[in-house]
């Protein structure tokens, strides 16, 4: 018995890297997997490759059930059809793993409109489009009185959460995905759907040439293996994680990090009890950040 027996999952960008590892792990746990991947190049360029079919073949060889879908996640109608066709073929949809991605890195003063639009389209719009159509399906099912245990698992990144030079487009999309995860969790809780995000670290073509995690394999364990993040995906997809929603989990090799988003750390009320004035703020904002106001030679925070 697998912990996902009888469940049906869609994994976007499931043909390579992290998505492929997630597909194999979900199938091994018993889920039927729809492997979505349009087989694009790293920067979104067209290729003749069909990695989704290769992953389906792998899963079937291992005794699992899978089918391929070759649509782009940024195509609104195609993602709507992906949900509808999955439900038509397998009778249900339980798990959506939004993972597809591309990069077009440049410093923001050199970034073109196309660099920005294409990365936002795949990551942020793509995550929204499939989430939106899946959530409409789950809401309709809940309204019909059917039991729903929907799972959205999004993919954010350290760039979106902490920042990274040269990735304004990618980081904005990944920060947007973290925010979208929280809102999906809030809106869908009453329909029996959870939404969480992972922030993985893995050696894939996307990170080729970058230092990812620790360089040395640790006693046979490769901290950069994309499959390291897949156990967390399977867990989040399972009934055991029904209580957990709106969270971002960073998977770094064998370590799981709980992340907290923006939080209020200090409060500075206005002295008058009314609106904060620029004059007052010249005093209170430095206090808030523990630095001296301009013109005072205390040396604090210099």
The window from 7-15, 242-250, 261-269, 271-279 that contacts ligand NAD (CB under 6 A) reads 7-15
> Is 253 an interacting residue with respect to ligand NAD (CB under 6 A)?
no
The window from 67-75, 108-116, 268-276, 289-297 that contacts ligand NAD (CB under 6 A) reads 67-75
H helices of the chain, in order, are 17-28, 51-61, 76-90, 113-120, 126-143, 158-162, 168-188, 230-237, 278-289
Q: Which of 10, 27, 38, 232 binds ligand NAD (CB under 6 A)?
A: 38
Instruction: Give 227 or 291: the residue with its C-beta nearer to ligand NAD.
Output: 227
Catalytic center residues: 157, 170, 174
Q: Which of 200, 223, 236, 237 binds ligand NAD (CB under 6 A)?
A: 200
The window from 81-89, 142-150, 206-214, 257-265 that contacts ligand NAD (CB under 6 A) reads 206-214
> Smallest distance from the beta carbon of 40 to ligand NAD, in angstroms?
4
Query: Is 279 in a helix, a strand, or coil?
Result: helix
Residue 63 makes CB contacts below 8 A (sequence gap 6+) with none
Residue 47 makes CB contacts below 8 A (sequence gap 6+) with 39, 40, 41
Please give the backbone phi and psi of residue 298, each rounded to the nearest 5 degrees, phi first. Answer: -90, -20
Q: Are 291 and 299 spatial neighbours (Cβ–Cβ below 8 Å)? A: no
Catalog residues that contact ligand NAD under the rule CB under 6 A: 12-13, 15-19, 36-40, 42, 51, 72-74, 99-102, 122, 126, 155, 157, 200-202, 204-207, 212
């Amino acid at each position: 018995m697998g912990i996902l027996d009888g469940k049906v999952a869609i994994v976007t960008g499931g043909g390579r890297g992290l998505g492929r590892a997630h597909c194999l792990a979900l199938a091994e746990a018993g889920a039927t997997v729809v492997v979505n991947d349009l087989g694009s190049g790293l920067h979104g360029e067209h290729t003749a490759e069909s990695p989704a079919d290769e992953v389906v073949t792998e899963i079937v060889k291992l005794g699992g059930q899978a089918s391929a879908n070759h649509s782009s996640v940024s195509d609104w109608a195609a993602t709507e059809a992906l949900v509808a066709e999955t439900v038509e073929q397998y009778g249900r949809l339980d798990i959506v793993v939004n993972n597809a991605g591309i990069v077009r890195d440049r410093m923001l003063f050199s970034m073109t409109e196309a660099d920005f639009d294409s990365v936002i389209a795949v990551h942020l719009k793509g995550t929204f489009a499939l989430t939106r159509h899946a959530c409409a399906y789950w809401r309709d099912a809940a309204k019909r009185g059917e039991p729903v245990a929907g799972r959205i698992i999004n993919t954010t990144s350290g760039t979106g959460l902490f920042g990274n030079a040269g990735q304004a487009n990618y980081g904005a999309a990944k920060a947007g995905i973290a925010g979208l995860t929280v809102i999906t969790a809030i809106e869908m809780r009453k329909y029996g759907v959870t939404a969480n995000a992972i922030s993985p670290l893995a050696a894939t073509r996307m990170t080729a040439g970058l230092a990812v995690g620790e360089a040395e394999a640790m006693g046979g364990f490769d901290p950069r293996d994309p499959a390291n993040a897949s156990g967390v995906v399977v867990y989040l997809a399972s009934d055991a994680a029904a209580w957990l929603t709106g969270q971002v989990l960073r998977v770094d090799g064998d370590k799981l990090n709980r992340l907290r988003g923006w939080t209020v750390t200090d409060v500075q009320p206005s002295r008058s009890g009314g609106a904060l004035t620029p004059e007052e703020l010249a005093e209170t904002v430095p206090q808030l950040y523990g630095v001296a106001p301009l013109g005072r030679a205390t040396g604090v925070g210099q």
